[in-house]
Amino acid sequence: MLTGFSMLFVGGPVFGEMFATMAPIYSRKASLPVYTLGIPFEEVTFPSSAGLALRGWFFPAEDQNAPAIIYAPATSHDQRSGISLVKPFHEAGYHVLLFSYRGHGNSDGSRFGFTYGAVESQDVDAAVRYLYETRGIERIGAIGHSAGAVSVILSAARNPRIAALVAASPFTTVEAVWETNRPKIVPKPVHQLVLLLSEFRKGYSRQDVRPQDVIQQIAPRPLLLVHGNEDQRITKKQAIQLYDSAMEPKKLWMVAGASHAEVRSPVLDELAGEIIDFFDTALRTPLEGGVEQAGSTYKD
């Protein structure tokens, strides 16, 4: 009985983590909103570092020499989560690439293999490589939300072809985000065991997902961090830690009243004009640093 109870006590969180990070079901019917945009696009395929086929949508700008923007989805999201950003960026003259990580959308791989940015950042690398080597696009910016923001930070830290990035609600380390989201009913030692089992099952190391240790390597390329004051999943303290660890040029927008999910939508959609201004400037000249308020009364 004790053994069975122990297995249930540990197995419950293990299966909970597995399903919480599982890729959503993808179907052609679910992707119909992309067709309603009225913007020409191509279905594209390019290889990941593991040789898996990554798939997505490429929306070409009228000017072949225009910059491109990549969107990196959050946990349990695929390329569809970036659809609302396509129109404003396309109208602003940007190429746009929406793609799905391995195991997500129509890409190859396991639906249960999400690694909080470890291999997802490698998929961002692959997307950048596709734009540069296949499309001949030299100026590339990236936007990511949550674990997608972590992925673009990790990728940009080692990939100089990302010329500027917007990271919305990234966490500092896997340990920090796990602790913030630990159910009170689950003791910390059990929670740490579940994290260890997650690493073992998915084949990644938490040491590979520490944005706070590498974010300074993005400089001198411009970085914009966006965070919600009401985010209960990733604390304001983590946002400040990332901002403090980053080098100039950098900006931090604290958004009043926004939860973690709301930072993606509606916040990024509502701030699309300002974000486009950031990329317009960032892809040409450096920005001055500073913490900016986006409808917020936040103070250090």
Position 300 in a domain: no
E strand or H helix that includes residue 13: helix 2-20
Q: Which domain does 215 fall in, by range?
A: 2-294
Domain assignment present for residue 299? The answer is no
User: At residue 65, what are phi and psi to the nearest 5 degrees?
Assistant: -90, 10
Q: Is residue 54 part of a domain?
A: yes
Domain CATH for 203: 3.40.50.1820
Helix, coil or strand: residue 169: coil
Residue closest to 46 by CA, chosen among 99, 113, 86: 99
Residue 90 included in any domain: yes
Q: How many domains does the chain have?
A: 1
183 pLDDT tier (thresholds 50, 70, 90)? confident
Please write the tens of the pLDDT for every residue from 9-30: 455 567 677 777 888 888 877 7
Judged against a pLDDT cut of 60, whether residue 288 lies above it is answered with no
**pLDDT tops 50 at residue 254:** yes
- Helix 272-282 vs helix 83-91: crossing angle, to nearest 10: 60
Return the higher-pLDDT residue of 122 and 5.
Answer: 122
Rounded CA separation 176/231 (Å)? 14
Dihedral sign (CA 264, 265, 270, 273): positive
d(CA 268, CA 254): 12
Q: What is the 3-state secondary structure of 114-130?
A: CCCCHHHHHHHHHHHHH
d(CA 222, CA 213): 17
